[in-house]
């Protein structure tokens, strides 16, 4: 088959995985992509950010954008280019790791650091907008933070210690961890000029309390209390940090860093850059500090100006409720956006045996010219609460209950109900681990307007990994596979048929962002979608009751080119 003419936006299927998801390295994934069964299946590859030098959150806490030497090499990127596979890579706009060279310079040099304004000093930001507390941070006026969006309990602060002993609070929206090294009796002898047996008792006491989660100041030293101040000072002087520190976009240095990063991603072969956590970047006293308007639009416009220089397409990533219409606003301003509604809409259509909401969404995508990347599953949970305003609340609740009954785990934001749910579950398990349903879901996905993204575990009909939940709920859907497991899976019918569907989507000229998509009238449990482009026609008829479907495609001479039932 002949590939469709490019219109600037590549609409072919996109593989999605961590660099170690298959085999353990990016080289192993390339070996997978080079297998004959994968010929002409994918045009793009979204490599999750653990491909970079990162420490936490499986890649989303970036130290720098050098390649992770454990997973990837420049030779790997060259091979992907030789395969003519375009890359989608992440750029985390809001934060950098504590271990970044910029933040480490602050820890080393304090107020003399050349990066002192690169991150957000909480007290400088809120000066004049609150009162200083005994703990050393400004508590903003209640009126200024009552509507502020919080990702975790308490204020988003990480206290760091400067070389002169000064404690400075920095803005820290996401993860943080403070670590204290265990004390050694010999070190205490030298540091405090005390007897060894006393040092042993102190070390045993303090190490047990630190292991139990107590902060140094909270430790009860009992009969050894006369040593408390010196021991606490010793512990604090050596404390270590992990975390994701918010960047200060008022600093020209941050914009230099933005440009340097986008240039590097372009050199790696990126065509699409996913903007992670961009909605948290703009911060002003009194605002929600999540997607502040118009400031966030101004931020995106400036980033786009840089991206345009390097031929990059921006894909801003944001979870929001349908009723907020942020997806529409992004499209109106010319950005691609994620279709986070499709995963839930497909499950709902199968559960209620109705095409109505899918048809409504297809028509809306077409009429409003919303260019999307869509998916079934992904590295995050299934975003069912995004559907609010598109689905009645009762239907959303039923969907959540259904997926939970099938082994999913619900996550809400730090215990607050009705904030944002993630339902962590493989998409295959969410469909009841039914091959027929998964194939229908994939068929519907490739006939939806947009660029289909394919999570590696969905391709292999991966089931929930309940043992992995101990490492975090999201790990239920992140099982790494060996290449031997991959080779065996390629012989399964559910895998082979998905590959056939994706190859058809990738190579048949009826598909593309410039194609005409129409819905044929039918009974509500039947979905009929037709794609047309330059005389090529692809037609899907799907039964949402029986989960049967048929696909027929004809070329511009009317000759049947592809069928599947």
Q: Tell how far CA 503 is from the center of its chain.
A: 26
DSSP structural state of residue 463:
P
Cβ(526)–Cβ(440) under 8 Å?
no
- Predicted pLDDT of residue 381: 87
Beta bridge pairs of residue 140: 130
* Residue 526 placed within a domain: no
**pLDDT over 60 (residue 5):** no
Residues 285 and 301 in one domain: yes
Domain end position, chosen among 221, 246, 271: 246
Q: Which residue has the higher pLDDT, 412 or 306?
A: 306
Cβ(481)–Cβ(21) under 8 Å?
yes
Which residues are identified as catalytic? 276, 317
Q: Grade residue 421 by pLDDT with cuts at 50, 70 and 90.
A: low
Residues 332 and 472 in one domain: yes
Query: Order of strands across the sheet with 95-97?
Result: 95-97, 240-246, 176-179
Length of the chain: 565
What are residue 346's phi and psi, to 5 degrees?
-70, -45
**pLDDT over 70 (residue 336):** yes
- Predicted pLDDT of residue 10: 86
- Predicted pLDDT of residue 4: 36
d(CA 101, CA 473): 31
**Of all helices (H) and strands (E), which one includes residue 344?**
helix 342-352
Tens of pLDDT, residues 94-105: 999 999 999 999
- Predicted pLDDT of residue 114: 98
d(CA 520, CA 541): 9
Which residue is it, tokens 């990837």?
A: 72
Cβ(68)–Cβ(38) under 8 Å?
no
d(CA 451, CA 369): 13
Residues 6+ apart with CB under 8 A from 3: 12, 506, 507, 509
Which pTM was predicted?
Answer: 0.94
**pLDDT over 90 (residue 137):** yes
**pLDDT over 90 (residue 153):** no
Domain end position, chosen among 229, 246, 263: 246
Q: Grade residue 3 by pLDDT with cuts at 50, 70 and 90.
A: very low
- Predicted pLDDT of residue 463: 97
Cβ(173)–Cβ(156) under 8 Å?
yes
Residues 61 and 126 in one domain: no
Q: Angle 210-215-219 (CA atoms, 0-180°, nearest 5)?
A: 75
Tens of pLDDT, residues 177-222: 999 999 999 999 999 999 999 999 999 999 999 999 999 999 999 9
- Predicted pLDDT of residue 475: 92
User: What proportion of the chain, given as a percentage, has pLDDT over 70?
Assistant: 96
- Predicted pLDDT of residue 502: 99
Residues 58 and 36 in one domain: yes
Residues 378 and 483 in one domain: yes
Cβ(237)–Cβ(161) under 8 Å?
yes
519, two tokens: 């819905």
For 354-364, what is the mean pLDDT? 98
CA end-to-end span of the chain, whole Å?
20
**pLDDT over 50 (residue 6):** no
d(CA 158, CA 174): 10
- Predicted pLDDT of residue 441: 99
- Predicted pLDDT of residue 8: 53
For 66-74, what is the mean pLDDT? 98
* 464: CATH: 3.20.20.80
Residues 226 and 262 in one domain: no
For 539-556, what is the mean pLDDT? 98
Give which of 454, 358, 349, 445 is closest to 402, Cα–Cα.
Answer: 349
Long-range contacts of 134-140, Cβ-Cβ distance < 8 Å, separation of 24 or more: 136/167, 136/169, 137/169, 140/285
* Residue 291 placed within a domain: yes
Residues 284 and 368 in one domain: yes
Tens of pLDDT, residues 48-68: 999 999 998 899 999 999 999
Domain count within the chain = 2
* Residue 45 placed within a domain: yes
Residues 232 and 272 in one domain: no
Three-state DSSP class for residue 51? helix
Domain end position, chosen among 212, 246, 280: 246
Cβ(257)–Cβ(303) under 8 Å?
no
d(CA 443, CA 505): 9
- Predicted pLDDT of residue 504: 98
Task: Compute CA distances 240 → 5, 31, 169, whole Å.
Answer: 53, 39, 15
Give which of 438, 545, 546 is closest to 494, Cα–Cα.
Answer: 438
Burial of 565 (0-12, 13-18, 19+ CB in 10 A): exposed
* 159: CATH: 3.90.400.10
> 36-50, 52-66, 407-421, 423-437: which has the minimum mean pLDDT?
407-421
Tens of pLDDT, residues 163-172: 999 999 999 9
For 424-450, what is the mean pLDDT? 98
For 225-243, what is the mean pLDDT? 95
Tens of pLDDT, residues 13-25: 999 999 999 999 9
* Residue 223 placed within a domain: yes
- Predicted pLDDT of residue 472: 80
DSSP structural state of residue 68:
-
Cβ(429)–Cβ(464) under 8 Å?
yes
Domain that residue 189 falls in:
101-246
d(CA 402, CA 352): 12
- Predicted pLDDT of residue 457: 98
Cis peptide before 121 (omega within 30 of 0): no
For 459-484, what is the mean pLDDT? 93
For 100-116, what is the mean pLDDT? 97
d(CA 312, CA 300): 13
Residues 215 and 302 in one domain: no
Residues 217 and 263 in one domain: no
Task: Looking at mean pLDDT, say which of 26-30, 177-181, 316-320 comes out highest.
Answer: 26-30
Tens of pLDDT, residues 363-389: 999 999 999 999 999 998 899 989 999
d(CA 423, CA 420): 10
d(CA 391, CA 397): 10
Q: Grade residue 453 by pLDDT with cuts at 50, 70 and 90.
A: very high
Residues 90 and 233 in one domain: no
* Residue 116 placed within a domain: yes
- Predicted pLDDT of residue 7: 37
* Residue 127 placed within a domain: yes
- Predicted pLDDT of residue 412: 62
- Predicted pLDDT of residue 416: 54
For 538-561, what is the mean pLDDT? 97
For 500-508, what is the mean pLDDT? 98
* Residue 25 placed within a domain: yes
- Predicted pLDDT of residue 81: 97
Residues 89 and 184 in one domain: no
**pLDDT over 70 (residue 418):** no
d(CA 491, CA 482): 15
* Residue 6 placed within a domain: no
């Amino acid at each position: 088959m002949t590939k469709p003419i490019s219109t600037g936006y590549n609409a072919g299927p996109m593989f999605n995985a961590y660099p170690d998801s298959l085999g353990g390295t990016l080289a192993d994934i390339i070996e997978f992509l080079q297998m004959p069964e994968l010929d002409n299946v994918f045009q793009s590859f979204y490599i999750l950010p653990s491909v970079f030098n990162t420490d936490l959150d499986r890649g989303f806490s970036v130290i720098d954008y050098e390649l992770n030497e454990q997973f990837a090499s420049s030779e790997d990127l060259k091979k992907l280019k030789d395969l003519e596979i375009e890359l989608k890579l992440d750029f985390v706009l809001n934060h950098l790791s504590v271990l970044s060279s910029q933040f480490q310079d602050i820890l080393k040099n304090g107020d003399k650091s050349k990066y002192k304004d690169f991150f957000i000093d909480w007290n400088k930001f809120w000066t004049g907008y609150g009162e200083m507390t005994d703990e050393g941070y400004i508590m903003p006026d209640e009126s200024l933070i009552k509507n502020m969006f919080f990702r975790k309990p308490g204020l988003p602060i990480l206290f760091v210690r400067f070389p002169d002993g000064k404690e400075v609070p920095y803005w820290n929206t996401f993860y943080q961890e403070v670590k204290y090294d265990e004390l050694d009796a010999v070190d205490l002898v030298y540091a405090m000029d005390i007897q060894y047996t006393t040092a042993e008792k102190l070390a045993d006491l303090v190490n047990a309390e630190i292991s139990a989660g107590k902060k140094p100041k909270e430790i009860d030293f009992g009969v050894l209390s006369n040593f408390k101040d010196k021991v606490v000072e010793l512990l604090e002087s050596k404390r270590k940090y992990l975390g994701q520190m918010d960047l200060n976009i008022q600093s020209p240095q941050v914009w230099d860093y933005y440009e340097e990063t986008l240039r590097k991603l372009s050199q790696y072969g990126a065509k699409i850059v996913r903007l992670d956590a961009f909605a948290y970047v703009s911060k002003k006293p009194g605002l929600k500090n999540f997607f502040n308007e118009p400031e966030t639009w101004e931020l995106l416009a400036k980033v786009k100006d840089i991206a345009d220089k390097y031929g990059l397409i921006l894909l801003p990533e944001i979870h929001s409720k349908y009723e907020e219409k942020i997806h529409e606003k992004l499209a109106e301003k010319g950005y691609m956006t994620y279709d986070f509604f499709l995963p839930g809409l497909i499950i709902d259509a199968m559960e209620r045996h109705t095409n109505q909401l899918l048809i409504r969404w297809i028509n809306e995508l077409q009429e409003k010219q919303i260019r999307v990347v869509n998916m079934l599953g992904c590295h995050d949970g299934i975003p069912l609460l995004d559907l609010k305003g598109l689905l009645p609340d009762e239907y959303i609740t039923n969907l959540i209950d259904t997926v939970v009954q099938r082994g999913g785990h619900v996550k809400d934001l730090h215990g607050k109900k009705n904030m944002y749910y993630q339902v962590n579950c493989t998409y295959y398990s969410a469909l009841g681990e039914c091959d027929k349903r998964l194939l229908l879901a994939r068929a519907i996905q490739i006939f939806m307007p947009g660029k289909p993204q394919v999570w590696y575990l969905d391709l292999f009909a991966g089931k929930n990994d309940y043992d992995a939940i101990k490492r975090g709920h999201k790990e239920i859907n992140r099982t790494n596979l060996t290449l031997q497991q991959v080779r065996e899976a390629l012989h399964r019918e559910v895998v082979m048929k998905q590959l056939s569907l994706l190859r058809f989507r990738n190579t048949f000229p009826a598909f593309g962002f410039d194609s005409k998509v129409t819905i044929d009238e039918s009974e509500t449990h039947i979905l009929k979608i037709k794609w047309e482009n330059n005389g090529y026609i692809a037609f899907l008829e799907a039964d949402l009751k029986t989960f049967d479907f048929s696909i027929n495609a004809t070329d511009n001479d009317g000759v049947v080119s592809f069928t599947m039932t």
